[in-house]
Structure 1
């Protein structure tokens, strides 16, 4: 077996590092040209590249097809997130996604910034708001983790927009101090509750088990972390039940027709819900939150031989779905065919040492 000395290994690693870093440095030099070529081949794209002097500072991209598809077929809901880049230069990747008719992620815009700070986040939000054409912020909903700088930026540039916290991030914070299966189940039951009385009932159970966990919830605005306080206009609760499961639940309910397309639905344990097919509404609020008839509404329809699919919101139609993906992201040629290559070269950012243990 071939053996390599520590000295040889160190030299080889050093050479590899120089090759890799050299390639990265060359990419920064033609970054401006890449942006111009992207805008030329994909009309309507937003590409903004900024430097500090001649050194790269930040980059924002929203491809024209993504912008057009989002406006044509996605809900007024935007997910925001960020992650640290593991390259030698460090920095952070910021991303914005939409929600299509199938509740899948739709790529919208992204940015690479030299540091995670309030200024860069505000810059990203401001460009994003312009690209999505936000004329009425009150009709929009943003979903993100609980980073204060991000929340402040949304409040500043999207005054009146609704803000939801990612339940996964919230649960990660919650479980740091409040462990156990019972508390876990109550957390998710509270997050999924669709009516205020249902949410309050869970809160009463929670305080009996752990007053500390209850107080943790009280510090969070309900409008950000439980469906029971979500607005209904977005027709998106993210945690969507499919239609087959709704039909399955309807088997255990009883429907009484009241007239004018209204029903009273009752369960075996005496619970009751009012359903109004004309308003596309049920007292449980699941229909209003998702745009898909809940089990109570479905039972009413089935009992009167009324078609179900005509009551599903247009967000879920084939026509709306195709509008998202009709625009085309056009291909680009290689750098050797770009005009004026290297006209505005940028330098590679200095290496950043991240805080904490490597």
Structure 2
């Protein structure tokens, strides 16, 4: 509004700017009804170019004689599914994010982790909302594309909120320490501290089902230590700018962005000569530095006792295991194992799981997504026209940001919330206040009565008569 007023000298209101933007978008992208009329042609073009991929379009009618309306659309490219099965560990994260268009709705996604511990999109779907029916439909299609039957050896992670109202700083720290520790003994010790601090918080934590997401209890088969859903959050941020576009434009931007990403990942893997992926190399080098504080005793064959700061661990090189369980879970030799490997005069890289090596990493990105023609070359599909879904308009302006829980740290995307943090004064070193509200600070720098009167007179522009 300021720019228009400054450049043209025309005062405009906020609603006028909104109407102008809506008119410009309609001119560039067409009307919403025309957009949904084109959706069957878009699906037909996808099926023609990407044979073997899954594109499931679900329609609905209110009555047998009513208009055909859009409900759901599932997309899984065959190259992504094959790349995931050939080059990624059997760990899949599920999440949903809201769309910012007039039709609202949700975008469900399934994301894995590649050999460099980065996100690997597998499938996504536009649905009416996050509910049991939409998630069941999405997961059934995903299981068919990945060939999941019984589920043995697979890890499926959701973005379920597990907060129970215990969000103080100390409890949050104990919670993450309990989740990230790798041994049962450390877990029980941290839980004892939590019980001493707040018994109800410890009980609520146990009731969640700690064996499902704590590293001390997770399976060693996938060779993945992930206990959060950050890869899905990364994917949602990756496509953030596209979520305010109409369905076809959004899906096309997601497809083309992932197409370019696969090419870049393939080029990076071809340019490096290291056997390990960059992030895995960094972890191995960090463990090498930590191994300097370790000392070992050989117990015969491939077994060792390793002492690290008074703690003793058993390492078995043949089974590739350590009693600290770091090597067992991640597939990367821990500092204790590296101490033994160096004693055997061998390279730690050869003891890293194949899932994290460059050769397997390249398999995930060797199958690219082929280019697609524009809508001017799509074949028109005969049949009933497709119309937009039914949307119940809510009062007020549509929200563009999700609701932030009171216990979440991030505020305004930059600053951190200080809820639950105990303040300590830097002047009197007492707990419960800071230096701005310190009584000692106020008394020390309190102005005298004469100084206060003189300051008041100067502010009012008066002159004290002599």
Give the TM-score band, short-chain normalised.
0.7 to 0.9
Q: 1:267 aligns with which of 298, 308, 313?
A: 308
User: Which residues of 2 match residues 242-261 of structure 1 at below 5 A?
Assistant: 242-261=283-302
1:185 Cα shift? 2.0
* Structure-2 residue corresponding to 1:3: 10
Q: Which runs of 5+ in 2 are unaligned?
A: 1-5, 62-67, 228-279, 399-466
Alignment coverage as a number of residue pairs: 331
* Structure-2 residue corresponding to 1:353: 393
* Structure-1 residue corresponding to 2:34: 26
Deviations 1:113-143 (A, max 9, x none): 1122211110000000000011340211011
Partners of 1:178 and 1:213 within 8 A in 2: no
Instruction: Point out the structure with max Rg over C-alpha.
Output: 2
**Structure 1 Cα separation of the partners of residues 19 and 293 of structure 2:** 72
Please tell me whether residue 315 in structure 1 is matched to residue 355 in structure 2: yes
Distance 1:10 1:250, change over 3 A: closer
* Structure-2 residue corresponding to 1:37: 45
1:32 Cα shift? 1.6
Q: Which runs of 5+ in 1 are unaligned?
A: 147-168
User: Which residues of 2 match residues 1-358 of structure 1 at below 5 A?
Assistant: 1=6, 2-6=9-13, 12=20, 15-16=23-24, 19=27, 22-53=30-61, 54-146=68-160, 169-170=161-162, 173=163, 176-180=165-169, 182-238=170-226, 242-269=283-310, 271-341=311-381, 343=383, 345-353=385-393, 358=398
**Structure 2 Cα separation of the partners of residues 321 and 299 of structure 1:** 27
For the residue of structure 1 that corresponds to 2:208, the secondary structure is coil
Q: CA RMSD in A?
A: 2.3
**Structure 2 Cα separation of the partners of residues 8 and 97 of structure 1:** 41
Deviations 1:47-90 (A, max 9, x none): 00111131000000001110110111111110000012121111
Partners of 1:30 and 1:342 within 8 A in 2: no
Partners of 2:44 and 2:379 within 8 A in 1: no
Partners of 1:255 and 1:263 within 8 A in 2: yes
* Larger strand proportion of the pair: 1
Partners of 1:57 and 1:114 within 8 A in 2: yes
